[in-house]
A and B are shown apart, each in its own frame.
Chain A
Amino acid sequence: MDPRFTLTGIRPAPPPPTPSRQRAARRPVPAAAMLAAIVLGCLFFPPFLPKDPSYLDLYHANTAPNAEFLFGTDAMGRDLFSMVWYGGRISLLTGFLSTAISAAAGILLGTASGLAPRWLDGLLMRLTEIFLSIPGLLPAILLQAALGKASVLSLSTVLGLTGWAEIAKAVRTEVRQLRGSAFVTASRCMGGSPFHILRRHLLPNFLPAILFMLVMRFRSAVASESTMSFLGLGLPLELLSWGSLLSLSERSLLSGAWWAAVIPGVFLAATLLCVTELGSGLQTAGQYGPSGL
């Protein structure tokens, strides 16, 4: 029988995709290159920039982009070109820190819930579900408003502590599946502590499953940071990030200085888009067989 035909013989089965083609289709090279350019630029450009981003050059306030000020200046006369690269540092740093905090909290809680007896597991998961249903930024905004003036560390902590729920849920599902397996039992029999089991046996197994979530977490952390800074709830004006750069732009829009609003936003949106592309490259789902329609 022709191997291309399935058992029912109704439809010919499609040829299996060749591995190399499949991998090439999923690898987001342009996005990775662009993201690398932005990240490396933010890391290494600032020492070589000709202008000080915090210098208020009031003679040249609201200057349109020209040869001296590549991206123009904002309402306070600060050079946007330097500010964008400096601001990226803080934005990306906040993203990394809060993702790390979310990941640590999510993995610990998820593992605890996965290994816990049924009643505790139920309780923890109920808590997680309640947390998931609270709308977006609201808890972060309230927490930050209560904490008072924000710094990079406090904002990352607030964002990290409000973003663990999804990760915890995914980790718990994976751990529930893994906990009965022979290698975990063997390690436990040999006296392995819970942390040892988590590090050596569970983490390597569930990491691929939550990697996509971590990348998406990074994306939403960067977006939340800029949103909060923009609203004046996050980083103060003098701590340059893409969000606090944009917090002045509402006024500059009305005075016609569009560049102060558009340029940092383009950087922000491009970074978020690249991170999303990278994330969907990691996702294994989304591969469908032939349609039945």
Chain B
Amino acid sequence: MKTHCIYVCRNLLAFLLSLFLLSAAVFYAARLAPGDPLVSYYGDHAEKMTPAERLQAEERLGLHEPIHIQYLCWLRSAARGDFGISYKYKISVLQVIGERLPNTLLLGGVSLLLIFTLALGLGILCTLQEGRWTDRLLCRAGTVLSCIPEFWLSLILILIFSVWLHWLPSSGAYSAGHGGDPLDRAAHLILPLSIVVSGHLWYDAYIIRSRLLTEIRAEYVLLAKAKGLSRKQILLRHCLRNIAPSCLNRMALSVPHILGGTYIVETVFSYPGIGTLTYESARCQDYNLLMVLSLFSGMLVILCSMLAQICSERLDPRLRPAPEPPADVPAPSEQAAGRLKRRMAVKSPKPLPHRR
């Protein structure tokens, strides 16, 4: 129980510390970068201001102070849950993000589900058909698909399905006046979804395939075969369970990549999500918005990697932190430790040959 507590506390502390460092880094980098935040607040008017007006405007936005004072001010209000207003939209940052976040979550979430199920299916299929034409064809197609840049594939799909066939809309999240219609949403989602899925699918499928291919060469597979299990049974009941921890780990790590990687698709399809918002805020020096968005992605990254670790530890007992040794076992003496060290030293691996 005690180890458990320490474990949770340590992770929590690491989480808060990394968020703090990230916020400081982004804050300094954004303010030191060239560019005028007043332009995003006042529009073109900012360029015609007299120096006195400028000074006044900067004072109103709190931009006249030294950076570290500004940072402390930001920290103080952020701790109270007030992240300031967006310079461009003139409303609360959280409100701006709240309007767009569901769109990205919908796109990212559905693609996550599709990617994982399809990758698992493809990986298993390729392993079962190893070396036959299905496997070779899938591998070939996957390599080709993963080589095509996302943005170009989007263009081609728009060309085929929107321009030539007129089947699907080419931009936006819904048609004007049809915001609540699920069918309309789905039609707008198909093209962006297929781009996100095709961009990530093969990588995951390939990893599952190569893990499974290594796994089916283990001795226990031979034993299971000798016992009379069918190929599918061996693969699904034994091999899949063995590779599950590493696969789950991999999937948890790819969550931020998929959720954060939708901005290319969002831009091409003019899909109102937070990917485009992030880019916009960096470009227009919209400091408050940029801070919250980077903290959000940072949080996602850290949470997912923690989740990955916890998942694999739960599934694979070998990875759990070692329990504390019971108190009655004496700690190894200095002498014994020295002996052990010497023994380990003798066992050091053979030096590798020197190649030129």
Contacts of A272 in B (CB 8 A): 147-149
**Is there contact, CB below 8 Å, between B348 and A180?**
yes
Q: Within residues 112 to 150 of chain A, which ones have a CB less than 8 A from any CB in chain B?
A: 129-130, 133-138, 141-142, 145-148
**Is there contact, CB below 8 Å, between A134 and B144?**
no
Can you list, as one digit per residue, whether each of A274-293 has a CB less than 8 Å from chain B (1) or not (0)?
00110010000010111111
A64 interface contact, C-beta 8 A? no
With beta carbons under 8 angstroms apart, the residue of A219, A253, A256, A286 that contacts B155 is: A253
B283 interface contact, C-beta 8 A? yes
Contacts of A231 in B (CB 8 A): 151, 264, 267, 279
**Is there contact, CB below 8 Å, between B216 and A293?**
yes
Q: How far apart are B263's CB and chain A's nearest CB, in angstroms?
A: 7
Q: A10-B222, A273-B144 are in contact. Are A183 and B151 (CB under 8 A)?
A: no
With beta carbons under 8 angstroms apart, the residue of B127, B260, B268 that contacts A250 is: B268
Q: Within residues 249 to 271 of chain B, which ones have a CB less than 8 A from any CB in chain A?
A: 253, 256-261, 263-264, 267-268
**Is there contact, CB below 8 Å, between B279 and A145?**
yes
Q: How far apart are B78's CB and chain A's nearest CB, in angstroms?
A: 20
Q: How far apart are A195's CB and chain B's nearest CB, in angstroms?
A: 18
- In the complex, which residue of chain B has the Cβ closest to the Cβ of A254? B163
Q: A145-B283, A265-B156 are in contact. Are A293 and B225 (CB under 8 A)?
A: yes
Q: How far apart are A277's CB and chain B's nearest CB, in angstroms?
A: 8
**Alpha-carbon distance A247/B21, docked complex (angstroms):** 36
With beta carbons under 8 angstroms apart, the residue of B148, B219, B234, B351 that contacts A269 is: B148
Contacts of A273 in B (CB 8 A): 143-144, 147
Contacts of B159 in A (CB 8 A): 253, 258, 261-262
Contacts of A277 in B (CB 8 A): 143
B178 interface contact, C-beta 8 A? no
**Alpha-carbon distance A272/B147, docked complex (angstroms):** 6
With beta carbons under 8 angstroms apart, the residue of B225, B294, B301, B354 that contacts A205 is: B354
Contacts of B60 in A (CB 8 A): none
**Is there contact, CB below 8 Å, between B151 and A269?**
no
- In the complex, which residue of chain B has the Cβ closest to the Cβ of A250? B155
**Is there contact, CB below 8 Å, between B148 and A262?**
no
Q: Within residues 58 to 76 of chain A, which ones have a CB less than 8 A from any CB in chain B?
A: none
**Is there contact, CB below 8 Å, between A135 and B297?**
yes
**Alpha-carbon distance A276/B259, docked complex (angstroms):** 26
**Is there contact, CB below 8 Å, between B352 and A204?**
no
Q: A135-B257, A141-B279, A254-B163 are in contact. Are A293 and B152 (CB under 8 A)?
A: no
Q: Within residues 190 to 204 of chain A, which ones have a CB less than 8 A from any CB in chain B?
A: 201, 204
Contacts of A223 in B (CB 8 A): 149
**Alpha-carbon distance A23/B260, docked complex (angstroms):** 41
Q: A146-B33, A205-B355, A293-B234 are in contact. Are A141 and B253 (CB under 8 A)?
A: no
A171 interface contact, C-beta 8 A? no
Q: How far apart are A286's CB and chain B's nearest CB, in angstroms?
A: 8
Contacts of B297 in A (CB 8 A): 134-135, 138
**Alpha-carbon distance A268/B152, docked complex (angstroms):** 9
- In the complex, which residue of chain B has the Cβ closest to the Cβ of A148? B34
Most buried by B among A130, A180, A233, A289: A130
Contacts of A135 in B (CB 8 A): 256-261, 297, 301
**Is there contact, CB below 8 Å, between A230 and B151?**
yes
Q: How far apart are A270's CB and chain B's nearest CB, in angstroms?
A: 9
Q: A253-B163, A269-B148 are in contact. Are A138 and B18 (CB under 8 A)?
A: no
Q: In the complex, which range does the number of interface residues on chain B fall in?
A: 35 or more
Contacts of A227 in B (CB 8 A): 149-151, 264
**Is there contact, CB below 8 Å, between A265 and B152?**
yes
Q: Within residues 40 to 68 of chain B, which ones have a CB less than 8 A from any CB in chain A?
A: none
Contacts of B30 in A (CB 8 A): 146
**Alpha-carbon distance A90/B249, docked complex (angstroms):** 39
Q: A146-B30, A223-B149, A273-B147 are in contact. Are A141 and B282 (CB under 8 A)?
A: yes
Can you list, as one digit per residue, whether each of B207-229 has a CB less than 8 Å from chain A (1) or not (0)?
00010011011110110010000
**Is there contact, CB below 8 Å, between B352 and A177?**
yes
B356 interface contact, C-beta 8 A? yes
B305 interface contact, C-beta 8 A? yes
Q: Within residues 1 to 56 of chain A, which ones have a CB less than 8 A from any CB in chain B?
A: 10
Most buried by A among B146, B152, B214: B152
**Alpha-carbon distance A194/B355, docked complex (angstroms):** 18
B35 interface contact, C-beta 8 A? yes
Contacts of A178 in B (CB 8 A): 352
Contacts of B234 in A (CB 8 A): 293
**Alpha-carbon distance A45/B179, docked complex (angstroms):** 52
- Which positions in B face A, CB cutoff 8 Å? 18, 29-30, 33-35, 127-128, 130, 143-144, 146-152, 155-156, 158-159, 163, 170, 210, 213-214, 216-219, 221-222, 225, 231, 234-235, 253, 256-261, 263-264, 267-268, 278-279, 282-283, 294, 297, 301, 304-305, 348-349, 351-352, 354-356
**Ranked 3 nearest A-B pairs via Cβ:** A135-B260, A181-B351, A146-B33
- Which positions in A face B, CB cutoff 8 Å? 10, 129-130, 133-138, 141-142, 145-148, 177-178, 180-183, 201, 204-205, 219, 223, 226-227, 230-231, 233, 246, 249-250, 253-254, 256, 258, 261-262, 265, 268-269, 272-273, 276-277, 280, 286, 288-293
